[in-house]
Structure 1
Amino acid sequence: MKKNPFDLTGKNAVITGAYQGLGWGMAQGLAEAGARIIMVDVHPEIDEKAALFRQRGFSAEGLCSDLMDRESRSELKKKIESTLDGQLDILVNNAGIQIRHSVLKFPIEDWDKVIELNLTAVFDLAQWAANLMVSIGNGKIINVASVNSIAAGINTVAYCATKGGVLQLTKTMANELSSLGVNVNCIAPGYMATPINTALVEDSGRFSELSQRIPAKRWGQPEDMAGAVVYLASEASNYVCGVMLPVDGGYLSR
């Protein structure tokens, strides 16, 4: 019988920002597809979340790390390499933050925080993963971009700048790594009902304005990300390189 190209059995996957929201939804998709998952998050109880997967018979581990801190990232990389014996098949760069200020009043300190986590950490981990993957001849790097990689928002100059950067980072890495067996792609979530968007959901005017632009007539949920991440992590996407896959209910089509 021909192998299911979406089957991730035997694959090792790392997903950042996995405690809640989109990260949790993608972790669930990868686990259910058969991957062994390492869930990374700044939340100290991340392994308790991973235990929920273990209770269902999946292979899952949670590692606490502050990806805003470069030394913490360095320690995380060492821990993962030791845990997986250097066999990293899938990296999902999902962790990120949103800090809202007007352009005229955006503090440089907040700019630095958003850039460090949403862009610098993404490159740092992707570069590390790429080196491991090139050494074994294959791998999948999936960065989480945003509809704001293309369609800019309001009071989100740092966030939009980073997500535009993630798109270009993805395409450039794909240019260099595709011939070496490593696929680099990104997912662009639309407006999702997750904690990072609490401010938007609570702003009735802005919430209504955004909702009217979504052809699907609803905001996304974490589970809406599962299919996209499994596809890009699997053999089904072996000839997919440098793409941005929107999961946005049609938002970018308007």
Structure 2
Amino acid sequence: MSCSLFDLKGRMALVTGSSQGIGLSLAKALAKQGAQVVLNARDETKLSAAQAQLKTAGLDVYRCAFDVSDHSATEEAIARIENDIGPIDIAINNAGIQYRESLEAFPVDRWEQLLAVNVSGTFHVSRAVAKYMLARGRGKIINVASVQSELARSSIGPYTATKGAVRNLTRAMAAEWARYGLQINALAPGYFKTPLNSALASDPEFTAWLETRTPAGRWGEVDELSGAAIFLASDASNFVNGHTLFVDGGISIAL
């Protein structure tokens, strides 16, 4: 297979939630593969620091701070990127939040926040970029789901529900937009060491459980998501649509 299938030179990618963790790692991977990358987060200070980090590494990165849960702000930001930086060829919907509590005690406001960011945010960004992609007849949308779109675990029921919604929204987008030249797929990480999982990663009891439960026997490292993201963002996946690619050390297939 030609390496040119994975070449992202000349492509513009927007990665939401990319000031840290998985989003920053994915942005770095795409930029190293030749793409221009627009970083996004709500916190301008953290976003600026992330941009400086990647620029120091010689990568071509911009930044655009906006809240994906705000529909109007998202529409305006996407329009600015298209007009001022360039056409968005790749959109990675990575912005997400987590809150852990039993279902019976889960605060209603936290439930609404998870829905607003994890589900509505994915819809807002996808809808905004798709308007331009559909007109051009090409585009890649990658929604970051989770192993929790397939499995459930106590204390994270609402998060599990949002990631199941993201997985099915991915299918719906592909069903509607594939005929117009777009490829929409989901990336489903398992348990990775990220700021979102810091409480779990620092818990020896949970880590012992995870190492036993996961066939690979360990936590994932965020850079191990790079290859899957590059595949879904590149021409190598031009006939892949509505698929959820699990990168989880095998946890979703083992009892």
RMSD of aligned residue pairs (Cα, Å): 1.4
Q: In 2, Cα distance between the equivalents of 1:175 and 1:62?
A: 31
The code of the aligned residue for 1:222 comes to V
CA distance in structure 1 between the partners assigned to 2:56 and 2:138 by the alignment? 31
The residue correspondences of 1:113-128 to structure 2 (distance < 5 A) are 113-128=113-128
Is this contact kept in 2: 1:38–1:63, CA < 8 A?
Answer: yes
SS state of the match for residue 216, structure 1? coil
Query: What corresponds to 2:171 in structure 1?
Result: 171
Counterpart position of 2:61: 60
Show the counterpart of 1:74. Answer: 75
Aligned to 2:151, the other structure's residue is in SS state coil
Write the letter of the residue equivalent to 1:153. Answer: R
Residue in 2 that maps onto 1:223? 223
- CA offset at residue 105 of structure 1? 0.5
Report the Cα distance in structure 1 between the residues aligned to 2:49 and 2:156, rounded to whole angstroms.
Answer: 32
Q: Which runs of 5+ in 1 are unaligned?
A: none
- Residue identity over aligned pairs, in percent, reads 38
User: Does the CA-based 8 Å contact 2:188-2:245 persist in structure 1?
Assistant: yes
CA deviations over 1:132-178 (Å, ceiling 9, x no partner): 11111100000000000010121111110000000000011101111
| Cα separation, 2, equivalents of 1:131 and 1:66 | 19
Residues in 2 aligned to 1:3 and 1:114: alpha-carbon distance in whole angstroms: 39
Structure-2 separation of matches of 1:71 and 1:152: 33
Q: Which secondary structure does the structure 2 equivalent of 1:14 belong to?
A: strand
When structure 1 is superposed on structure 2, of 141-150 and 219-228 the one drifting more is 219-228
Mapped partners of 2:54, 2:200: distance in 1 = 31
Q: Which residue of 1 aligns with 2:9?
A: 9
Amino acid at match of 1:60: V
1:89 correspondence with 2:63: no
* SS of equivalent to 2:6: coil
> What SS class does the counterpart of residue 99 from structure 1 fall into?
coil
Distance 1:172 1:135 in 2: 19
Give the counterpart letter for 1:36 in structure 2.
Q
Match for 2:77: what amino acid? Answer: L
* C-alpha spacing 1:200/1:91, structure 2 compared with 1 (3 Å): same
Kindly report which structure 2 residues correspond to 1:178-189, keeping only aligned pairs within 5 A, or say none.
178-189=178-189
Offset of residue 3 of structure 1: 6.8
- Secondary structure at the residue paired with 1:187? strand
1:207-246: CA deviation from partner (whole Å, max 9, x where unpaired): 3212211111111111111111110000000010000001
1:241 counterpart residue number: 241
TM-score (norm 1): 0.95
Corresponding residue SS for 1:5: helix
Q: What is the TM-score normalised by the length of structure 2? A: 0.94
Q: Which residue in the other structure is 1:149 paired with?
A: 149
Change (3 A) 1:216 1:132: same
* Cα deviation, residue 4, structure 1: 0.7
SS at match of 2:113: helix
Indicate the larger mover: 196-205 or 167-176. Answer: 196-205
Q: Is the 2:68–2:124 Cα contact (8 Å) retained in structure 1?
A: no
DSSP-derived class of the 1:41 partner: coil
For the 8 Å contact 2:68–2:125, the answer to whether it is kept is no
> What SS does the corresponding residue of 2:15 show, helix, strand or coil?
strand
Tell whether the 8 Å contact from 1:96 to 1:118 is kept in structure 2 after alignment.
Answer: yes
